[in-house]
Amino acid sequence: MKIGVIGTGYVGLVTAVCLADLGHDVVGTDVVEDKIDKASRGISHIYEPGLEELLKANLKKGNLSFTADLDKAIQSSDVLFVSVNTPQKEDGSADMTFVESVSRTIADNLNDYKVVVEKSTVPVKTSMWIKKTITSCKKKDVDFDVASNPEFLREGSAVSDFLNPDRIIIGVETDKARDILVKIYEKFKDRILVTNIDTAEIIKHASNSYLALKISYINLIAELCEKTDADVNQVAKGMGFDPRIGSQFLKAGLGYGGSCFPKDIRALTKIGEDLGVNMNLLREADRVNLDRIDFFVEKTKKALWILKDKKVAVLGLAFKPETDDIREASSIKIIKRLLDEGSYLRLYDPRAMENMRKIFPEEPPQISYVKSPYEAVKEANALLIITEWDEFKELDLKKIKEVMDNPIIIDGRNVYDPSEVRELGFEYYSIGRQ
Ligand code: NAD
Ligand code: UGA
């Protein structure tokens, strides 16, 4: 059985490499030739811990390859994992043009029975549209099945998430497709849940929206904590001991970013509203999330009074640690606001500076990218923590205090202990804590 992975972005590249690592014969394909060229040479076009090593190892083993020839990749595969992007449209719904385009290409190249698997996050009923498109466009009278196998990996731990999944969801409408997918994931057979396709599609959107809801909830509680003497980190810890609540995804901060939670919660809201369901619960979670930026900028203003001409060190640009991804990162909105106010920014991130330069090109003295946190804070009037990279937790704060013009830290991710930092002589502001 040969597996084709269509779209080798953050999900597709990990999927291709990990399926090969599980022992399958895999070909990855993408419309962006540079990604294919790099992957073929064992270079990952994204930063994802462990991915490049595994890519190299599986290329060497000989059961993983990449081609920019979509037609060939489709014709030679028995199972096709579709992992193209499904971005947000203006009205909040998911843009399905890439999935539609792939469906047409599959129809053109359908030469034998194939299972077309939705790996991308798609609205419920997408399988019906894929089926309709392929059926109406296929050139040969051959059979196919559509299935849903949503992906739950997180960026930054994608390889280990893929290879140690807590569940594999398989949405199918035929026994043949079910047996093929169950065989692919045989190694995880104790964690497979087989459902119908609508259910599998909704499981993905419902899971992401629930996690987003959890984050907005703790951020709301953080706001409440700030108005009292409570500490949101301790509140989250206390809540998390209850196994019904659980301790994960209760980190208060700058809210959720990334290419998925913001778009997926809006997509599910739109799906529900189009079906006549009141989705205000999700709308509110989205609003709470958007408000985090205002809260943080207000906090910064409270600390500095006037932002114009202030030198601000910004540590952390990626939407979360251990990735170079800046899609929907809080940093982008915060940087825009500070630039509008006339601040001078020195930006640092261990992995995401190259991507950020494409949005905010270097323009000294207004915008400079620096090589280390210590360079960023030199003569700065404030230090902002936007992403909680481990590197920032381990900074020599004494050294930092010596070189800053004003020892002020505004910590959007609660990286430091307030009393320890204040003891060193810093003015310190964080989220949901005094
Ligand atoms: P991405 O933009 O990194 O990758 C998508 C890839 O598809 C790109 O490389 C693009 O060039 C390619 N592509 C687009 N049209 C194509 C076509 N017609 N033929 C071949 N290739 C084509 O996106 P991503 O982050 O990998 O996300 C992909 C999907 O997976 C989305 O639906 C997303 O919601 C979902 N998802 C993402 C994550 C994540 O952590 N990024 C996790 C789970 C699910
Ligand atoms: C998320 C989900 O965790 C994955 O299961 C899912 O597959 C993926 O979306 C997807 O569908 O794309 P990811 O976006 O990579 O993964 O990263 P997360 O670790 O979930 O973080 C998302 C955002 O929430 C980040 O901005 C992070 O800073 C924020 N977050 C997370 C918090 O603010 N608090 C928390 O407690 C946890």
CATH of the domain spanning 2-195:
3.40.50.720
Distance 295 CA to ligand 1 centre (A): 32
- H or E segment and range at residue 409: strand 408-411
Q: Among all ligands shown, which has an atom nearest to the Cα of 73?
A: 1
Strand order across the 367-369 sheet? 367-369, 344-348, 311-315, 382-385, 408-411, 427-429
Any idea where the domains of the chain sit in the sequence?
2-195, 205-286, 292-429
Q: Among all ligands shown, which has an atom nearest to the Cα of 289?
A: 2
Nearest atom, ligand 1, residue 260 CA: 34
C-beta atoms surrounding 162 within 10 Å: 21
Residue 260 designated active-site: yes
DSSP state, 424? T
Same fold yes or no, 2-195 and 292-429: yes
DSSP state, 320? S
Between CA 227 and CA 432 the distance in angstroms is 8
**DSSP sequence for 99-155:** HHHHHHHHHHT--S-EEEEE-S---TTHHHHHHHHHHHH-SS---EEEEE------T
- Asked whether 155 lines ligand 1 (CB < 6 A), one says yes
- Asked whether 378 lines ligand 2 (CB < 6 A), one says no
Q: What pLDDT is stored for residue 150 in this prediction?
A: 98
CATH superfamily name and code, 205-286: N-(1-d-carboxylethyl)-l-norvaline Dehydrogenase; domain 2 (1.10.1040.10)
Q: What pLDDT is stored for residue 290 in this prediction?
A: 97
Give me the average pLDDT of each 10-residue run along the chain (434 residues): 97 98 98 98 97 98 98 98 97 98 98 98 98 97 98 97 98 98 98 98 98 98 97 98 98 97 98 98 98 98 97 98 97 98 98 98 97 98 98 98 98 98 98 96
Task: Classify domain 292-429 at the CATH topology level.
Answer: Rossmann fold (3.40.50)
Token pair, residue 206, equals 């419902």
**DSSP sequence for 283-307:** HHHHHHHHHHHHHHHHHHHHHHS--
